[in-house]
Amino acid sequence: MRAVQFPIAAILIAALGGACQAQPTPQDAATAAGLPFAVTPVADFTAPWAMTFLPDGRMLVTEKAGQLMLVSADGKTKSVVATVPGVSSEGQGGLMDVVLHPDFATNRIVYLSYSTPGEGGKGVVLARGKLTEGAAPTLEGLTTIFTATPFVAGEGHYSGRIAFSPDGKYLFFTNGERQKFDPAQDPKATLGKVLRLTPDGKPAGDPALTAKGFHPAIWSYGHRNLLGIAFDAQGNLWEQEMGPKGGDEVNVIVAGRNYGYPIVSDGDHYDGRDIPDHDTRPEFEAPKVSWNPVISPGGLIVYSGKMFPQWQGDLFIGGLSSKALVRVDVDGTNARKGDQWDMGARIREVEQGPDGAIYVLEDGRGDSQGRLLKLTPR
């Protein structure tokens, strides 16, 4: 495996006569770049989007074009489980999240989200199938169990993140507003919303909203492009989303609440039009943390491992345009900015390994189309 290259590391090597020096090990490169962890490449993929760990330490990784990969714990062996039919990978679309059923050890059910064409344009769907292994791994009976509404033209802001509630009774699913603004406030559309479903895809939204005539799956609304969602140990549901020109957000999701987009935002429209800030409209839920300039958040975990005990309970977010790994300090339901580490590549996904290591997926750099990196203490 190749050593991780970082700009600062390259400068130091050149200053020491880099042509005559050995290339740095991953830990040397991390040290030179000022990172508080060693960075070890594990595997290469083609435009990876999301990942999850199986109980035995192996991984499932989605690739944007539609392939679901089964990967050994050491990253040396990769097998195609399925090429998902109907995936539309243009623009921001593709095969997106992958999450295991809470009872995966007994039922082997895997959930996927992806963008697909349909009446009216394109949209994001939630599907599930059974991981079966024998001569070759397969995903049996893959079936769509929920479909965003409406389908619209365009290639952006699908979202499609999945998280199970701690008790395993509900599945939370994010639908982006598809760069159409107003659907985020439309009570009949699932776009721009956090949805709550049963594990078989039936709507189970906030009863108070349903009683007001909202789509029965809606849990919260007024969101933009929701690319991370995760529960903490206390049962709080954290969410991050890309804002417009500025105003990336971290929120605590509360049933029935309106988070304000596009009426309010800590950013502005890309054409320069002003959007009032959250503090001008206190009836909307304000973010716990926001960024301007943006980090372009991708992926989210609440860290609970023992490998980095100083960060237990904190949020880790991938940074796309910022090419960063971002840590957010959490205190109950309050949060503040922590660290932002330059990773030298767009970080699409963050996941916690069974041993407490932090894993990140890159969008790609150099000859790689997207590496899986393991971060460990140094």
Residue 274 has a CB neighbour count (10 Å cut-off) of: 9
Q: C-alpha dihedral over 223, 85, 54, 138, to 10 degrees?
A: 170
Q: What angle do CA 301, 302, 307 make, to 5 degrees?
A: 100
Contacts of 282 (CB under 8 A, 6+ apart): none
Reply yes or no on whether the pLDDT at 9 is more than 80. Answer: no
Catalytic residue among 101, 157, 223, 278: 157
What's the pLDDT band for 12 if we cut at 50, 70, 90? very low
Above pLDDT 70, what percent of the chain?
Answer: 92
157 is catalytic: yes
pLDDT computed for residue 30 by the predictor:
64
State both tokens at 206.
Answer: 């906030």
Look up residue 213 and give its DSSP letter. Answer: T
pLDDT computed for residue 32 by the predictor:
53
Strands laid side by side in the 297-302 sheet: 297-302, 315-319, 324-331, 334-342
Contacts of 281 (CB under 8 A, 6+ apart): 260, 263, 264
| CA 321 to chain CA centroid, nearest Å | 14
Tell me the domains of the chain and their CATH numbers.
1-34 (no CATH), 39-295 (2.120.10.30)
CA distance 61 to 67: 8
Produce one character per residue of 334-346: b if its CB has 16 or more CB atoms within 10 Å, e if not.
ebeeeebbbbbbb
What's the pLDDT band for 4 if we cut at 50, 70, 90? very low
- Per-residue pLDDT reduced to its tens digit, 41-56: 999 999 999 999 999 9
CA distance 344 to 35: 12
Are residues 160 and 97 in contact, defined by beta-carbon separation less than 8 angstroms? yes
